[in-house]
Chain A
Amino acid sequence: MMTQSSPTTVKSEAGNVAVGNVAEPMALSVTDVAKSYGSGFSLGPVTFDLPMGYIMGLIGPNGAGKSTLIKLILNMIHRDAGSISVLDLDNIADEVKVKEQLGVVFDSSYFSTYWTVKMAEESMMAAYPTWNHALFADYLKQFGIDTKKKVKDLSRGMQMKLMLAAALSHDAKLLILDEPTSGLDVLARDDLMDILQRYIEDGQHSVLFSTHITSDLEHAADLITYITQGKLYFTGSKDEFDDAFRLVKGGPDELDAVNPVAVGVRSYLTGFDALVHTERVNELVQADHELHVEPVSIDDIIRLTNGRAAGPCRHEEGSKAR
């Protein structure tokens, strides 16, 4: 049986950890943003900040609202409430300026598949006054993309890299990637993470990255924003996220003692896995139960905070329902 408690939102201020306590400017601020669909799915209110110079992973199961949130940031869909600012500019009032600062990568190519790579570049050149042909050519060379090839003849990984090259070649300060690694092999994912870490190295660039492949984030992400069933569950540093919970394992007899303090439980014939807030683990250990306590992975947190049996029926995200 799965049990589930109501989500608690933890918010930390990543800006406070900077060396020398310099207040960092925000690359992205999402404040009380909400969106409801006729289908019954609603997102928010969601509030989080991404300080400049960091990589934030946006995580959550399919249908949690990740893509909806990204579409709201990009002003591709209309929000019901709240405000969003990108590099201190309002994403609707200053839309043109905001778009110039944004680089976007989606899970499938937004270039016409019948275009050649060269035609894709021409479309970008027309859209961005800051387009840098030499830089784009460098990226294509580095990624091994042939400019004469048609988009449809590129592999999935190459299509993602083409979008990435385009996103990086118009002096964007914030990269937003929606499930860029789905369907990519380990080498392509590794290359991507390397490129993202280089991109933010100067402290002037930032990345928001949605994924359900959490191993990509386990190391390189600085911050995590976790949404589930349309609600914000956590936003803050990844280390804090990992430290906030412990995985407690025990036999069937110990379940009654652990259940009241557990955030989520999966019980099975011979025992159980429970997600427990780290500060409450001591109560259990002191009470002399024979429990096994381990650090958690991001996957454990998602798995145990999404009890399928107890959770309300999940609706498809609006983007997919259309």
Chain B
Amino acid sequence: MKLIISSVSGEPIYEQIKRQIREAVLNGELKGGEALPSLRKLARELRISVLTVTRAYNELADEGIVVNVQGKGTFVAEKGDERMKKKLTDQVRNALRQVGAAAKAADIPLIDLMDLLETEYKKAK
């Protein structure tokens, strides 16, 4: 698995780790049940604080993406990818609900709204 840390991006290091692990789970690179590197090993390899990796792993565990098993390590949760996709889909639906309401209030026709959506969708990387 690829995991790199930028020291100039301004994004906190624990967020960089979380984002890259989430992406790897979503695109299937990390599969359910697969072990993540031990947090102390990862800290040493990346030359970062053990506490930073601990925070990233704990927050991913809170999101249900990974599971910490006492004395064994950290593993990708079974169906962690599905859970994440569902969560993201929920987020999209909520955002669209607001967009729909705002567009109606501004009297923007559906066809124009779809154009706007297409532009934004293409802009996102």
Contacts and interface: CB of A to CB of B under 8 A. Distances in A.
A87 to B, nearest CB: 19
Q: What is the interface of chain B mostly: helix, strand, loop, or mixed?
A: helix
A219 B6 CA distance: 12
Contact of A17 (B12, B54, B70): B54
B49 A20 contact: no
A181 to B, nearest CB: 15
Interface string A53-83: 1110000000000000000000000000000
B51 A198 contact: no
B52 interface: yes
A239 B50 contact: no
Contacts of B49: 55, 219-222, 237-239
Contact of A220 (B7, B48, B57): B48
A198 B40 CA distance: 9
B52 A239 contact: yes
Interface string A198-209: 101111000000
Nearest to B58: A19
A19 B47 contact: no
Nearest to B70: A20
Contact of A19 (B43, B44, B57): B57
Contacts of B52: 239
B51 A239 contact: yes
Interface string A68-107: 0000000000000000000000000000000000000000
8 contacts: A14-B51, A19-B39, A194-B47, A201-B44, A219-B48, A220-B48, A238-B49, A239-B51
Interface centre among B51, B55, B57 (most CB of A within 10 A): B51
Contacts of A203: 40
B86 interface: no
Of the four ranges (under 10, 10 to 19, 20 to 34, 35 or more), the interface on chain B belongs to: 20 to 34
Interface of B: 7, 10, 12, 14, 39-41, 43-44, 47-52, 54-55, 57-58, 68, 70, 74
Given A19-B74, A201-B44, 5 more contacts: A194-B44, A200-B50, A203-B40, A223-B51, A239-B55
B48 A53 contact: no
A132 interface: no
A192 B43 CA distance: 15
A194 B48 CA distance: 10
A194 B45 CA distance: 9
A219 B47 contact: yes
Given A20-B70, A239-B49, A197 B43 contact: yes
Nearest to B43: A197
Contact of B44 (A198, A223, A237): A198
A202 B51 contact: no
Given A19-B57, A201-B40, A201-B41, A193 B47 contact: yes
A127 B12 CA distance: 45
Interface string A243-282: 0000000000000000000000000000000000000000
A18 interface: yes
Nearest to A53: B50
B51 A200 contact: no
Interface centre among A19, A53, A201 (most CB of B within 10 A): A19
Interface string A32-65: 0000000000000000000001110000000000
Given A200-B40, A239-B14, A18 B47 contact: no
Interface centre among B12, B48, B74 (most CB of A within 10 A): B48
Question: What 6 pairs across the A-B complex have the smallest Cβ distances?
Answer: A197-B44, A222-B49, A20-B70, A222-B51, A201-B40, A19-B68
Contacts of A222: 49-51
A20 B43 CA distance: 18
